[in-house]
Amino acid sequence: MNQPILLTAEVVMRQTAFVLLFIIAPAVLLAQEEGNRKPELSISASMQNVSSGGGSSSTSFLLAPRIGFFLYQGLQLEPEAVLLLSSASPAYMLNGNLVYNFSGESKRVPFLLAGYGIANTVPIFNVPAFLPDFAFGVLNLGFGMKVFLAENVAIRGEYRFQKFSGEGKTQNYGYFSYTSKVDTRIHSFQFGIVVAL
């Protein structure tokens, strides 16, 4: 029997603020012009190594679409949304990443990535690994390089670290109690193409 989850005001405010940023910011950014910097559509394939606290690990390949909106010069907002359907319940992962592209005269553009998101699953092999009855945080850190083949087309390679962490409500069973926890780290190497829209 599923029991209702009690969320603290801090968790609700943080998740609400993140979702608003994720939904509203791209619309606002599209209305602003930053010189000739157009939004970029990026599709990457990634190789992942997944490990958990128990010491087990596995490797997988995924496809990841995203769109980047320039805020100011080399600074981009890259929202990512993964919605997965399962027989139990819908699974999701929403990330809001900031990417800083180091400018220069070269066709090679290195970048740094940092962001945070919320999820109710850890997507392994692009399917929900498990569906706990609570949402948890996703930390995103990475770096990479875009190599422009033409003015509006580049190949992109990046390393991405993601840490999924959080815990649910503590359940009491007489003298024992149990708290569901998520503590999973994913290391990804992603390669793909970027097209300026």
> When comparing pLDDT for 61 and 35, which is higher?
61
Query: In which band, very low, low, confident or very high, does the pLDDT at 15 lie, cut at 50, 70 and 90?
Result: low
pLDDT > 90 in the chain, percent? 29
- The Cα–Cα gap between 156 and 179 comes to 40
* Chain centre distance of CA 126: 13
Query: In which band, very low, low, confident or very high, does the pLDDT at 28 lie, cut at 50, 70 and 90?
Result: very low
Global pTM? Answer: 0.70
pLDDT > 70 in the chain, percent? 68
pLDDT tens profile 55-112: 777 666 556 778 899 998 889 999 887 776 555 567 788 899 999 999 777 899 999 9
Tabulate helix, strand, coil % of the chain (nearest 5): 10, 60, 25
| Residues facing 191 on adjacent strands | 45, 157
- Asked if residue 97 lies in contact with residue 71, where contact means CB atoms within 8 angstroms, the answer is no
Sign, CA torsion 147/161/75/80: positive
Q: Residue 120, by phi and psi: left (phi above 0), alpha (psi -120 to 50) or beta?
A: alpha
Concatenate the DSSP letters of all residues of 42-106 into one string: EEEEEEEEEEETTS-EEEEEEEEEEEEEEEETTEEEEEEEEEE--SS--EEEEEEEEEEEPP-SS
Q: What is the mean pLDDT of residues 155-159?
A: 94
Query: In which band, very low, low, confident or very high, does the pLDDT at 122 lie, cut at 50, 70 and 90?
Result: confident
> When comparing pLDDT for 32 and 190, which is higher?
190
